[in-house]
Structure 1
Amino acid sequence: MSALFSFRSMLQVILLLICSSTYIHCQWPSLLDRYKNHSTLGAFWKMARIGERASPYVSLACIAMAISQFNE
């Protein structure tokens, strides 16, 4: 089933995008900062900001997602 039709898969994709964007922004800040005001690519900068500011909640969500994957 595609991630568009499964709510759980869609949450997993969004969580992975947040984690990936945060990692990329920590390693190469100028890569995402140059597209900050761009409409489409600015979403990755926004996801990186969510990952930086809400990192305890994002990490708990990653742990919960990993545990739920083991239970399948």
Structure 2
Amino acid sequence: MTAIFNFQSLLLVILLIICTSTYVHDLFPSILDRNKDGLMGIFWKCARIGERLSPYVSIFCIAMACSMILGY
């Protein structure tokens, strides 16, 4: 199955995009700040979500890791 049709995989992909965008924005802020519109704007918005809601994102990452380990 692809990540589009499997809900757990889709959530995992979204979490990975949020975490990766936040990490890239922390290292190179000018890359995402100059591309706030268009397709690259999605990554800028994901970086903002990761920065502002980082406790919740980390909780969801831990929950997804536990669910992957347990096989749910």
TM over 0.5: yes
Instruction: Spell out structure 1 runs of 4+ moving beyond 2 A.
Output: none
**TM-score scaled by structure 2?**
0.96
Please give the secondary structure, in 1, of the residue aligned with 2:38. coil
Please give the secondary structure, in 1, of the residue aligned with 2:39. coil
Which residue of structure 1 lines up, in the alignment, with residue 25 of structure 2? 25
User: Residues 3-53 of structure 1: CA distance to partner in whole angstroms, max 9, x if unpaired?
Assistant: 0100110000000000000000000000101101x2111000000000000
In 2, distance between residues paired with 1:33 and 1:6? 32
**TM-score scaled by structure 1?**
0.96
In 1, distance between residues paired with 2:65 and 2:6? 17
Q: Name stretches of at least 5 consecutive residues in structure 1 with no aligned partner.
A: none
Amino acid of the residue matched to residue 56 of structure 1?
P
Q: Does 1:13 align with 2:43?
A: no
- Using the aligned pairs only, state the percent identity: 61
| 1:17-56 paired onto structure 2 within 5 Å | 17-36=17-36, 38-56=37-55
Q: CA RMSD in A?
A: 0.5
